[in-house]
Chains A and B, each alone.
Chain A
Amino acid sequence: MEKLMILNGSPRAPRSNSKEYAAIFAEACSLPTETFAITPKNHLELCSRMEGFSQLLLVFPLYADGIPVPLLSFLKTLAAHPPKKKPVISVLINCGFIEWQQNRLAVEMVKLFCTQQGYVFGSALMIGSGEAILKTPFRFLAERGIRKLAASIQRHQYRTFHTTMPLPKKLFIRASTNYWLAMGEKNGVSKEQMETMKIE
C-alpha cells in the first residue's frame, strides 16, 4: 500500500509556513501521510524511516535563490544513506516574492538530486507570495494548487503546478510593505529603523 512521507525543510520548521502548507497537503491527500520536520540531529532517523514510504514530498521555502540549508544538509545525508526502496520525490516550494518562477531553480536542484541518486522525480508545486498568501483572500489559490499536487501524486500522473497572488507588482509591494511594517511594530521597531542602511 502506498504511503507518503512529508518532510518540512524550512529553517523555522516548527512555526513555518511550510508547516501549514504540509498540513493542507496532508488534508487534501487521500494517501496515508506522516509529516516530519528536518532537524540537524534527525537525518539518519529520517533516512531509516523513509523505508516504509513509496512517496516523499519535500516542503520548503526558497532561501538565497536555492534550497535552504536544513534540506540541503539532509539531502547530503540521504545521498550517503539511501533507503533500499527509493520513494518518488515531489516538491512543494514557496517564495516570498510574487513571481512563482523564482522557485524554478530550487526545483531543478531537487530534480538533479533525483537524477544523480537514482530517484524518480514526481510532481512540483511552486507558490509565489508564499509568505503571505495563506493570510489573504487568495488562500484558496494555494489550497487549489495543493489539491492538484496531491491528486497528481495519488494518480501517478506527475506534473508541475504553480500559483501566486494575482496582483500587479506595485500593489503586491504595497501589501508586502504593510505586512513587514506590522511585524516591525509588534517588536516596537519603526519604519525608519527597519530602513536603516547600517549593517551591524
Chain B
Amino acid sequence: MKLILSDHSLSLPPEQEDIRYIDLSGLKIANCVGCFGCWTKTPGRCVIRDDATRVYPLIAQSDQLLYVSRIFCGSYDVPMKTMLERAIPIQQAFIRIHHGETHHVQRQVVPKKAVIVGYGASSPQEEALFRQLIARNTYNMAMEETEVICCEESQVEAIVKERVEAWKN
C-alpha cells in the first residue's frame, strides 16, 4: 500500500485502490500524553480514540510513504509531528540494538521507501537540520530508503503529483 500523509490540502486524482491520501488538516488528532498505555495497558492500541487511530495502522501497512509537512525549527511542523508522536503504538516498549543504537522493537511494520516533502524552510541551515531529522527517522520509523525534498509551499502540489504519477508507472 502507498500512503500520502499531508498537512497541506492537495488536489489529487481520485484515490486508487493501493494509494491512500490523508489530509491531516481535516482530522482531529490530540497530542500524545506519554501515558505509555499503547505499550503497557492495551498494547498496539492508543488509549486516545480519535482520528489518529485510523492513521497509524496505515503508516504501519504502507511500503511507500509520502509525507508532506511544513518545516518549523528544522522539525516537522505541529500537525505532522503530532501524528508521528501518536504513531508509537506501532512500536513495542521493548528496546533492541539497531544500527548500533538502542531503539524500540517494531510491531508488524512494513519496511518503507519514503519521500518526505518539507516546505517553508527559512534557511539552508534549517533545511539541513530537517534532513538530519529524516535520517534519524529512518532508524525509528522503519524507513529503508528515504528521499527528502525541500521546497517552497507553492511547489508542493506539483511535486506530489509528479511522485504519485511515478508510483502509477
Interface residues of A (CB under 8 A from B): 10-12, 16, 40, 61, 63-70, 72-73, 75-76, 96-99, 102, 105, 108-110, 112-113, 115-116, 169-170, 172-173, 176-177, 180, 183-184, 186-187, 189, 193-200
Contacts and interface: CB of A to CB of B under 8 A. Distances in A.
Given A173-B96, A200-B53, 8 more contacts: A65-B133, A72-B72, A72-B78, A76-B78, A97-B101, A105-B136, A112-B129, A199-B109
B73 A109 contact: yes
A87 B86 CA distance: 32
B78 A180 contact: no
Interface string B41-77: 1011100000001001100100000000000111111
Interface residues of B, number: 54
B34 A75 contact: no
B97 to A, nearest CB: 6
A106 to B, nearest CB: 8
B102 interface: yes
Given A115-B125, A177-B94, A11 B78 contact: no
Nearest to B137: A65
Contacts of A105: 74, 129, 132-133, 136
